[in-house]
Amino acid sequence: MNKLIITCAISGAEVTKKDNPFVPYTIEETVREAYEAYLAGAAIIHLHVRHDDGTPTQSKTRYQAVIDQIKAKCPDVIIQPSTGGAVGMTRDERLEPTELDIEMATLDCGTLNFGGDQIFVNTENDIKYFAKIMKERNIFPELECFEKGHIDLVLRLNKKGFIHEPMHFSFVLGVNGGMTGEARDFHFLRESIPSHATFSVAGIGRYEFPLAELAISYGGHVRVGLEDNIYIEKGVLAEGNQALVKKVVELAKKYNREIATPDEARQILGIGGSHE
């Protein structure tokens, strides 16, 4: 079984310090959380950036400042900026980080209700546009799928030449408006992708660690972090991202899954190839 790739989503765009005081806003806080997650075993840092007051931004200048400082502390780590941004941002605003020298980014693969009146819009043409830009800039896309229809769209776009091999899926389960994160949901999605594709699972809230264990046991990879879940156990706030990564490392030991280094993660996923 392949080594386990751990991604840490250190802040997101929605969770705040009111939810958990360890959610990073400033450049210093973001770099600290990334570095501590890396030391615990995260090969990939899924990166959103904020202004100092916590407002999310896709500013490439802000991203560059954060990336430079993370790379100074852990030069081999994979930085994976979000192109999801925050609800209401335009295509090109969301894509600003891809103008930087990055090797990986997220590509959201369908529209989703986000609770209340919020709709996270990703039309078919949006997805084609994002995929085209990433291909041109030699950026490896992580295909974020919140439900089965998103996977079906990816597979159609792959056949039509818009999304290229190798394909790496991220099942984001438990979002309000998306699929729940029960074991049946995990298996449904896992069995819906090509056997040669790789996958990671991000469980939201209470689904984080049950889904992490399922992914580990079935040869997949795991995303954790304060973006997805602010608790280390029921009712107990996580004291930073490092605690969440460490818990996954302990789960991996049960299944004899070794933890992948960033370079091993690149090899497993096929990052750095032609993406044909």
- Work out the number of other CB atoms within 10 angstroms of the CB of residue 234: 6
What is the Cα–Cα distance from 170 to 160, expressed in whole angstroms?
A: 21
**1: in domain:** no
272 has a pLDDT exceeding 90: no
Say which DSSP state 162 is in: S
Q: Which of 254, 212, 249 is nearest to 40 (CA)?
A: 249
Q: Is residue 276 part of a domain?
A: no
Task: Kindly report the CATH number assigned to the domain that includes residue 180.
Answer: 3.20.20.70
Whether 97 is covered by a domain: the verdict is yes
Within 10 angstroms of residue 98's Cβ, the number of other Cβ atoms is 21
Domain of 193 in residue numbering reads as 6-269
Torsion sign over Cα 15, 151, 258, 139: negative
Q: Summarize pLDDT for 202-241 with one digit per residue, the tens.
A: 999 999 999 999 999 999 999 999 999 999 999 999 999 9
pLDDT tier at 275, thresholds 50, 70, 90: very low
Confidence of residue 273 (pLDDT cuts 50, 70, 90): low
Question: In angstroms, rounded to a whole number, what is the distance separating the alpha carbons of residues 219 and 1?
Answer: 6
pLDDT for 181 beyond 90: yes
When pLDDT is cut at 50, 70 and 90, the band that residue 74 belongs to is very high
pLDDT at 276: 43
- Alpha-helix runs per DSSP H in the chain: 27-40, 60-73, 91-94, 124-136, 148-159, 183-190, 208-217, 241-254, 262-269
Q: Is the pLDDT of residue 73 over 90?
A: yes
pLDDT digits (tens, 9 = 90+) for 17-34: 999 999 999 999 999 999
Percent share of the chain, pLDDT over 70: 99
Q: Which is nearest to 270 in space by CA: 137, 107, 141?
A: 141
Let me know if residue 246 belongs to a domain: yes
In terms of phi and psi (left: phi > 0; alpha: psi -120 to 50; beta: otherwise), the region of 256 is: left
**The token pair that represents 174 in the structure block:** 């438990």
Give the integer Cα–Cα distance in Å for 270 and 272. 6
The mean pLDDT of 51-72, rounded to a whole number, is 97
Across the chain, mean pLDDT equals 96
Give the integer Cα–Cα distance in Å for 124 and 128. Answer: 6
Quick one: pLDDT at residue 85? Answer: 83
Q: How many domains does the chain have?
A: 1
Q: What is the pLDDT of residues 123-153, one digit of tens each?
A: 999 999 999 999 999 999 999 999 999 999 9
For tokens 């460490």, name the residue.
246
